[in-house]
């Protein structure tokens, strides 16, 4: 595999660890503030609606910026969603609609990420190296999705409170996304 292919495997595996660690706990964390399944459903709808919009906007940005820049922007937007989640969590009790802002930012960042990573996967691999590259990426992504819930569960278990565990997970997710953006 080429250097670019190896970098993409590392970036994608790091993203998968972070995304898997945060996936369940974001919903649990936000539900603790709202106590409403309706609000959580709306949060999910906002987030998942923003992914294709972010994908489309990422495509438009690709006319002016490199795909690696769009990937980094996507990761930075995701980081800002988690920073918003941690920084303004005390406001969620009185202003439950702020969880929709988290969904909006997170979905947009994920759209940017998925546009750029899918495009880079095709551009960085050659016809000859693509089977090895895709196989290796799938192995690392799968391993990441197995390891991440175990690590996240251990963090919550070893924390004084569940809320402190969730906050620690989000902090680790931010660090992992920063590492992926820098790579």
Q: What pLDDT was estimated at residue 15?
A: 94
Cα–Cα separations (whole angstroms), residue 153 to 66, 95, 111, 156? 37, 29, 27, 5
CA angle 32, 21, 61 (to 5 degrees): 100
Q: Which residues of 128-159 are buried (b: 16+ CB within 10 A; e: fewer)?
A: eeeeebeebbeebbeebbeebeeebeebbeee
Is the four-CA dihedral 89, 95, 100, 101 of positive or negative sign?
negative
pTM, rounded to two decimals? 0.89
CB atoms within 10 A of CB 86: 15
Backbone region of residue 6 per phi and psi (left: phi > 0; alpha: psi in -120 to 50; beta: other values): alpha
Q: Which residues of the chain have pLDDT under 70?
A: none
Q: What pLDDT was estimated at residue 71?
A: 95
Q: What pLDDT was estimated at residue 97?
A: 82
Q: With contact defined as beta carbons under 8 Å apart, do 9 and 125 qualify?
A: no
Predicted confidence (pLDDT) per residue in 125-176, tens digit:
888 888 999 999 999 999 999 999 999 999 999 999 888 898 899 899 999 9
Q: What pLDDT was estimated at residue 89?
A: 77
């Amino acid at each position: 595999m080429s250097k670019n292919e190896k970098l993409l495997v590392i970036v994608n595996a790091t993203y998968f660890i972070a995304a898997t660690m945060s996936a369940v706990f974001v919903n649990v964390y936000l539900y603790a503030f709202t106590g409403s399944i309706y609000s959580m459903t709306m949060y999910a709808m906002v987030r998942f609606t923003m992914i294709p919009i972010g994908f489309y906007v990422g495509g438009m940005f690709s006319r002016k910026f490199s795909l690696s820049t769009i990937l980094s922007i996507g990761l930075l937007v995701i980081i800002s969603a988690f920073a918003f989640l941690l920084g303004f969590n005390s406001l969620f009790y009185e202003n439950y609609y702020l969880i929709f802002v988290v969904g909006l930012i997170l979905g947009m960042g994920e759209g940017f990420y998925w546009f750029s990573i899918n495009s880079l996967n095709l551009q960085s691999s050659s016809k000859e190296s693509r089977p090895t590259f895709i196989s290796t990426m799938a192995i690392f992504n799968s391993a990441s999705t197995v390891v991440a819930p175990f690590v996240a569960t251990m963090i919550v278990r070893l924390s004084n409170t569940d809320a402190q565990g969730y906050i620690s997970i989000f902090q680790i997710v931010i660090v992992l996304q920063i590492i992926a953006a820098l790579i």
